[in-house]
Amino acid sequence: MPTVLITGASRGLGLEFTRQYSADGWRVLAACRTPATARDLSALAAASDGRITVHPLDVEDHASIDRLATALATVPLDLLLNNAGSAGAPAPGESRAPSGFGQSRYDDWLTMFRVNVMGPMKMAEAFAPHLEAGPGGTIATLSSMLGSMTQNATGGVYAYRATKAGVNAVMKSMSIDLAPRGITVVTLHPGWVRTDMGGPTAPLDVATSVAQMRDTIAAVTPETSGRFLLHDGTPLPW
């Protein structure tokens, strides 16, 4: 039975990844910050015949990552899926974080960098041994098209763009450094999806995005490791 560790598994894309991988016969280690309040995830785990286990994890807290790596020390992984992310905290009375020039809140920038860039880096460093213990592990990290400098024609969204460009650079380097250890790496843009972040008018539903990303992840080879891809496998420019 292949095994996947998913961060940010309590809602949105992470919850759907958990649902689909479990339905396909995978063992799913579903990690989230507060399992006690993750009702949808807990219900999914309860109905999974033991395929889904829920684990506390805050990717902003490196000690939390180390604790989980130690707890799972004997568990080989086929896939590490860095799904957890942050688009910033909304300003008081607003539904979204301010993103225009002159609106920067630098404490929020630091939080986003810890979650979106350092979190996936630390996860990879902590769980590389688990991936090496498997039959050929993959690290898949959810990024965003907003991290593409080539496609930035509208400006704004400074902090989020910076963190996604940053994690793209991290994963590209990682694909080179981990190749001798038999670990492949892919960075994915899930599309504009109907989630809390994407909003109700987004054109792509969660199930379709996740199904296409799973196919894209499954197709990664040592020769294609390090690419930045759309959910359906279309290459994206840096």
Would you state the pLDDT for residue 88?
Answer: 86
Domain presence at residue 189: yes
In a domain, 58, yes or no: yes
Note whether residue 238 is domain-resident.
no
* Domain contains 176: yes
pLDDT at site 198: 65
Largest CA distance in the chain: 52
Residue 237 lies in a domain: no
Q: What pLDDT was estimated at residue 206?
A: 94
Query: Is 72 within the bounds of a domain?
Result: yes
Per residue of the chain (238 residues), what is the pLDDT tens digit? 999 999 999 999 999 999 999 999 999 999 999 999 999 999 999 999 999 999 999 999 999 999 999 999 999 999 999 999 999 887 776 667 777 898 889 999 999 999 999 999 999 999 999 999 988 899 999 999 999 999 999 999 999 999 999 999 999 999 999 999 999 999 999 998 877 666 667 778 999 999 999 999 999 999 999 999 999 999 999 9
Number of domains in the chain: 1
* Domain-embedded: residue 236: no
User: Any idea what the CATH number is for the domain that residue 60 is in?
Assistant: 3.40.50.720
Domain that holds residue 91: 3-230
Q: What pLDDT, on a 0 to 100 scale, did the predictor assign at position 93?
A: 67
69 located within any domain: yes
pTM of the model: 0.95
